[in-house]
Chain A
Amino acid sequence: MSAPKPVVGNRPVAICSFAQSPSLRRVDQANEVEMLMPVIAEVFAKANMTKDDMGFICSGSTDYLIGGPFSFVMALDAVGVWPPKSESHVEMDAAWALYEAWVQLQEGVIDTALVYGFGKSSLGDLSRVLAMQLDPYTMGPLWPDQVSLAALQARALLDRGLSTEQEFAEIAARSRHDALKNPNAQVRNEIPVAELLEEAYAVSPLRRHTLPPLSDAAAAVILVAGDRAYDVVDRPAWITGIDHRVETHAFGARDLAVSTSTAMAAKIAGVGNGPVDIAELHGPFAPQEVIVRQAIGLDDSVTINPSGGPLAANPMMAAGLIRMGEAASRIWDGSATRAVAHATSGPLLQQNLVCVLEGES
């Protein structure tokens, strides 16, 4: 057994364990630490490891959801790191925390890392929270809500003839159908596309089914470098390529119908170097899946979001990491040999991360 040679980086690193809490509209009776604790316990139990086996810990979360400073420090209590460990945090989806851990592992000093992310959208008005990531002088004071902004992007796509409202509904119907097999998903049902298209507009041209649910959840993965990965899992999900790129926050200066940063990241991550079996894409709004799929260059043969994707469960700061965990799970269970995971951050697909995972055939 030997790891496939990575396209990016020199040292093979694999996703070897993954756990997530069920995505719920409102987790009322557990705070962030309490929501994380069973997830952390599960990700260690699946790997037959403990916190003492970890060389590095990295998390992704945002204080703006909880409404208090340094909430990530409190979250560390879910791991119980004593004596102290090397630890870091990103104010982003935990997919970027995974990237930071992957960079650490490339240095060759440590072999293992715990990555986790968590977010409760139920604590406040998510549109108010997300408006605060916009330009604070020219956009933020107008308090544009996230649905209206996504609707601007959807219209740009429709005007360009790159998608249709029918396709948006097909994506939603497929996501909800596939989510029936995912006990952690939140929106799981069987609704015909024609019925979805009868829904009123939330904000035209977006109907309610094109919107991601508001979710509370947490997720965690364990990364292991080199041959130690085989001690944890029979068929490690090797990260053979990973990259992320950012575009201007002035989204009025971007072409919203395409995603230049996703396309760049996909190229550098080597997506096109071989066939892709499945892809877990983090386009929280249905039209964004179309944009991301086109940017990565995935054809119709690729199974998109077999987990149900973000239209079935969209916990802020964890949904991107969940894409990576779900894609890795398809490698472990043998249903895929080469998988792509994508995560996004910022308004209207501003920043994008693309990761290629491979199992030995």
Chain B
Amino acid sequence: MADVVEVFRSPHVLEYPYVRSTGPIVGGYLSGLRDGKILGATGAAGRVIVPPTEYDPDTAEELSELVEVGPGGVVTTWAWVSDPREDAPLSEPFAWALVQPDGADTGILTPVAASGPDAMASGMRVTASFLPSAERQGRVQDLRCFVPEEAS
């Protein structure tokens, strides 16, 4: 008998095709993005958390008040993607970053569209770039990316 082992390979897609309500806090954030606004939640000691969480990450206190932050902000850390994956939010080379919008105390995970790694730095100012209003659907992708402030 030939010493050949044929390995069976087949695609397997696992899906959870359910929907759920996003509620007043997360839903409020996504509705805000649809309207071209970034909303954060006021947490313990006045700390503004964005994206808003339903509870304060430090004290577990339930949060309910949403406030508008941004659209400008500061890059707190970044990573340069020279070869974007097929599923990346931008098809050209870009930076993943945490951006702390003006008026907020935490960072949003977001792509930053910049010309290259030399155009990126922690502490640089950026501003939000939304999809055209007709294309927004109340989802996180409505906030397409941030761009360097001088380029906006």
Contacts and interface: CB of A to CB of B under 8 A. Distances in A.
Interface of A: 28-29, 64, 67-68, 127-128, 135, 137-139, 141-145, 148-149, 151-156, 159, 201, 203-206, 247-248, 250-254, 256
A253 B49 contact: yes
26 contacts: A135-B51, A137-B30, A137-B51, A138-B51, A138-B108, A138-B109, A138-B140, A139-B140, A141-B139, A142-B89, A142-B110, A143-B87, A149-B79, A149-B96, A152-B77, A152-B78, A152-B109, A154-B79, A156-B76, A201-B80, A250-B51, A250-B106, A252-B107, A253-B53, A253-B57, A256-B98
Contact of A143 (B5, B76, B89): B89
B12 A67 contact: yes
Contacts of B29: 137-138
A156 B80 contact: no
Contacts of A142: 89, 109-111, 140-141
Given A142-B109, A142-B141, A256 B51 contact: no
A226 to B, nearest CB: 38
B88 interface: yes
Contacts of B82: 201, 203-204
Contacts of A67: 12-14
**Listed residue (A135, A159, A250, A251) with the most chain B CB atoms within 10 angstroms of its CB:** A250
Interface of B: 5, 7, 12-14, 22, 26, 29-30, 49-51, 53, 57, 76-82, 85, 87-89, 96-98, 106-111, 117, 122, 139-141
A152 B26 CA distance: 24
Given A135-B51, A203-B81, A250-B106, 6 more contacts: A67-B13, A137-B26, A155-B78, A159-B77, A205-B79, A250-B51
B122 A252 contact: no
A204 B80 contact: yes
Nearest to A142: B89
A350 B117 CA distance: 28
B49 A250 contact: yes
A154 B98 CA distance: 13
Contact of A248 (B26, B57, B89, B110): B57
B77 A68 contact: no
Contacts of A201: 80, 82
Contact of B14 (A68, A156, A250): A68
Contacts of B110: 142
Contacts of B109: 138-139, 142, 144, 152, 251-252
Contacts of A148: 79, 81, 96
B113 to A, nearest CB: 14
Given A127-B85, A141-B141, A142-B111, A252 B57 contact: no
Contacts of A205: 79
3 tightest A-B CB contacts, nearest first: A151-B79, A248-B57, A252-B107
B106 A252 contact: yes
Contacts of B98: 152, 252, 256
Contacts of A254: 57
Contacts of B14: 64, 67-68
**Listed residue (A28, A143, A248) with the most chain B CB atoms within 10 angstroms of its CB:** A248
Contacts of B88: 143, 145
Contact of A203 (B50, B80, B106): B80
Contacts of A159: 77, 122
**Listed residue (A64, A137, A153, A254) with the most chain B CB atoms within 10 angstroms of its CB:** A137
Contacts of A128: 87
B140 A152 contact: no
Contacts of B85: 127, 143, 145
A138 B57 contact: no
A67 B16 CA distance: 11
